[in-house]
Structure 1
Amino acid sequence: MTTTANETSLKVPVDVRFSPTGRPLAIRHDGRLWVITEEPLHWFERDSWWQTRTNAPVGIGNIVDIEFWRVQVKLSSNSALRTFLLRREPASTQWLLDAITDAG
C-alpha cells in the first residue's frame, strides 16, 4: 500500500525500532525504513472500552490506555520531512500508522 501526504485514518501495521530507553528510532513502512529526525512527542489517551467491547477479561491488564507517538521522519538526508502519527491499542503489541502529513 502506497500512501500520500495528508492521508488520514490509515491504520496500517508498521514495525517500530526503539532505543533501550523506549524512544522510537525508525519505522519500517511500505518496504522502506523511515528514520526519526526530531525529538518525538509521546502521549496516552483513554479508550471507551465499555462502548467498543462487551466485556473485559480478568487479568488482561491495561485496557484503557491508547499509546501515541508523533514523529518526524525522512527516508534520506535530502528527502522531504514527513510527520507520522503512530498508535497502539490497549493490550496490543502491534503499532499502527494512523496518519502521514507533510511536516512543513
Structure 2
Amino acid sequence: MIATANETTLNARVDVRFSPTGRPLAVRYDGRLWVVTEEPVHWSERDAWWERRRTAPAGAGNIVDIEFWRVQVKLSANAALRTFLLRREPAAAEWLLESIS
C-alpha cells in the first residue's frame, strides 16, 4: 500500500465490533467510537512467513493469512467521513488500524 498526502499510517491497536454475520459495525480508536456507515470491503493476503522465519507447532491454525477490512466510518451523523484500513495478522486476536484516509 502506498501512503498518499492525506493518509496517516498508524498500526494502532483497536477494538472492532462485528455483527453476528461477521461484518464490522464499529471501531473503537483513541477513546472514540467510529460507526461503520458504508458497505465494508474484506480481503486476505498471504504473509511471507519464510522471510520472518516464523514457525508454528502442528495444529496452530492459520499462520499465513493476513485479514483486512476497509471501512468508511463517522463519529456522528454530521461528522466527516473517514476510511480506516484494519488489519489482523496471522494467529493474532487483536486488530490494528493500519491507516486513516
Structure 1 length-normalised TM? 0.88
1:41 is aligned to 41
Give the equivalent residue in structure 1 for 2:25.
25
Shift of 1:56: 2.7
Identity of aligned residues (%): 73
Whether 1:7 aligns to 2:3 is no
Structure 1 unmatched ranges of 5 or more: none
Give the letter for the 2:8 counterpart: E
**Unmatched segments (≥5 aa) in structure 2:** 1-5
Q: What is the Cα deviation at residue 53 of structure 1?
A: 2.6
CA distance in 2 between counterparts of 1:68 and 1:87 reads 5
Q: Displacement of 1:55 after TM fit? A: 2.3
User: Secondary structure of 2:51's match?
Assistant: helix
* Cross-structure match for 1:70: 70
Cα distance per residue 1:7-52 (max 9 Å; x no partner): 12x1100000000000000000000000000000000000011111
Q: Which residue of 2 aligns with 1:80?
A: 80
Aligned to 2:3: none
- The structural deviation recorded for 1:59 is 1.4
Query: CA offsets, 1:37-77, max 9 Å, x none?
Result: 00000000000111113423221110110000000000000
TM-score under structure 2 normalisation?
0.91
One-letter amino acid of the counterpart of residue 39, structure 1: E
Which segments of structure 1 move beyond 6 Å, counting only runs of 4 or more? none
Structure 2 Cα separation of the partners of residues 55 and 86 of structure 1: 24
User: How far apart in 1 are the matches of 2:61 and 2:23?
Assistant: 22
Aligned: 1:93 with 2:93: yes
